[in-house]
């Protein structure tokens, strides 16, 4: 069987995406080393446009943040009722896997996101702190539900708000928060990690400087 390679006819719009894509393919195949468009012959503006079409620059931080934020490994950690809603977030309807976060790890050494789902009692607090310490950097924490963010429904001797013993990045209110609410919190964390955090209500009410963490 004979394989015949042919140049595709040039499209009408030379700067369209499809054309650029096709040019990139041809570049990779090395077909452009001959012919009128070979890079050694380009000068000035043409050369700049050539490079602009093929190369993307970014900072290392942004690239790493993009990779990290799109592949959180949550720790399989459910305490109380919010854990049921956490199951539903991982369930078929509100699928956490479409964002890439379905790999719930059992061991804290392999996880980078701890979702505190449920009420934290005083007996459990040192254990959670130990789990958090065992996680490797970079690590984030989401406090899901009213009981661990503030004291929630039960303002009494037995509970500890999570802020008292570990740093929390995102608090998700609700009792229990709907799976959509937890997803919103996780996506907010994703935006935070990518440094694209929106000001949210603070922007609307002129309160941008009042965050607790910079």
Partner 1 sequence: MPDATGLELLAAELGDAARETVYFREQATIEVDPTRVREVLGALRGKGYSFLASVHGVDYYPEEPRLGVIYELLDMARVDRVKVKVRVTVEEPEVDSVTPEWPTADHQEREIYDMFGVVFRGHPDLRRILMPEDYEGHPQRRDFPVGGEPVIFTRDERKWLEEPSEPA
Partner 2 sequence: MSRPENPTLSDYRRREQSVTLSQLDEPLAAGEDGSETSEELLTLNFGPHHPATHGVLRLLVTLQGEVVRDIKPIIGYVHTGIEKTAEDKAYWKVIPVVERMDYLAYYFNAMAYCSAVEKLVEVEVPPRAQYLRVIHLELNRIASHLIWLGTSALDLGAVSIFLYCLRERELILDLFEMSSGQRMHTRYFQVGGVMEDIPRGFERKVREFLKLMPERADEYGAILNSNEIVLQRLRGTCPLDAETLLGLGVTGPLLRAAGNPWDLRKADPYCSYEHFDFKIPVGTVGDNYDRFAVRLAEIYESVKIVEQALDGLPEGPHITEDRKVALPPRHELATSMEALIHHFKLVTEGFRVPPGEVYAPIESPRGELACYVRSDGSSKPARVHMRDPSFVNLQAVSHMVKGSYIADMIATVAMLDPILGGIDR
Beta strands in 43-180 (DSSP E): 74-75, 113-117, 140-144, 170-172
Q: How far apart are CA 150 and CA 164, in angstroms?
A: 10
- Site track for partner 2 across 101-140, x = CB under 8 A: -----x-x---------xx-x-xx--x---x---------
Give the burial string for 69-98 (b: 16+ CB within 10 Å, else e).
beebbbbbbbbeebbebbebbbeeebebee
Q: Minimum Å distance from CB 208 to partner 2? A: 34
Please count the residues of this chain forming the interface with partner 2, following the rule CB under 8 A. 35
Task: Find the radius of gyration of the CA atoms of the chain.
Answer: 25
**Residue number with CB closer to partner 2 (127 or 208):** 127
Which residues, 109 to 128, sit near partner 1 by CB under 8 A? 122-123
Please tell me whether residue 150 binds partner 1 under the rule CB under 8 A: yes
Which residues, 51 to 90, sit near partner 2 by CB under 8 A? 76-81, 83-85, 87-88, 90
What are residue 164's phi and psi, to 5 degrees? Answer: -75, -25
Q: How far apart are CA 70 and CA 62, in angstroms?
A: 12
Region of 198 please: left (phi>0), alpha (psi -120 to 50) or beta: beta
Please tell me whether residue 155 binds partner 2 under the rule CB under 8 A: yes
**Residue number with CB closer to partner 1 (87 or 154):** 154
Please tell me whether residue 162 binds partner 1 under the rule CB under 8 A: no
Piece in contact with partner 1 (CB under 8 A), picked from 74-82, 84-92, 156-164, 174-182: 156-164
What are residue 125's phi and psi, to 5 degrees? Answer: -60, -45
Which residues bind to partner 2, rule: CB under 8 A? Answer: 76-81, 83-85, 87-88, 90-93, 106, 108, 118-119, 121, 123-124, 127, 131, 147, 153-159, 175-176, 178
């Amino acid at each position: 069987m004979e394989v015949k390679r042919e140049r595709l006819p040039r499209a009408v719009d030379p700067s369209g995406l499809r054309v650029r894509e096709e040019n990139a393919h041809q570049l990779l195949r090395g077909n452009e080393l001959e012919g009128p468009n070979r890079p050694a012959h380009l000068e000035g503006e043409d050369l700049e446009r050539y490079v602009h079409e093929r190369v993307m620059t970014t900072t290392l931080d942004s690239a790493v943040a993009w990779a990290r934020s799109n592949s959180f490994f949550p720790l399989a950690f459910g305490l109380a009722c919010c854990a049921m809603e956490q199951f539903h977030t991982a369930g078929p309807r509100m699928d956490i896997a479409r964002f890439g976060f379905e790999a719930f790890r059992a061991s804290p050494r392999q996880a980078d996101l701890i979702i505190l789902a449920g009420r934290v009692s005083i007996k459990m607090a040192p254990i959670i702190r130990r789990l958090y310490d065992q996680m490797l950097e970079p690590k984030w924490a989401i406090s899901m539900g009213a009981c661990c963010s503030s004291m929630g429904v039960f303002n009494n001797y037995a509970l500890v708000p999570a802020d008292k013993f570990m740093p929390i990045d995102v608090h998700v209110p609700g009792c229990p928060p709907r799976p959509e609410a937890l997803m919103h919190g996780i996506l907010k964390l994703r935006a935070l990690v990518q440094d694209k955090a929106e000001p949210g209500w603070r922007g609307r009410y002129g309160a941008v400087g009042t965050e607790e963490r910079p």
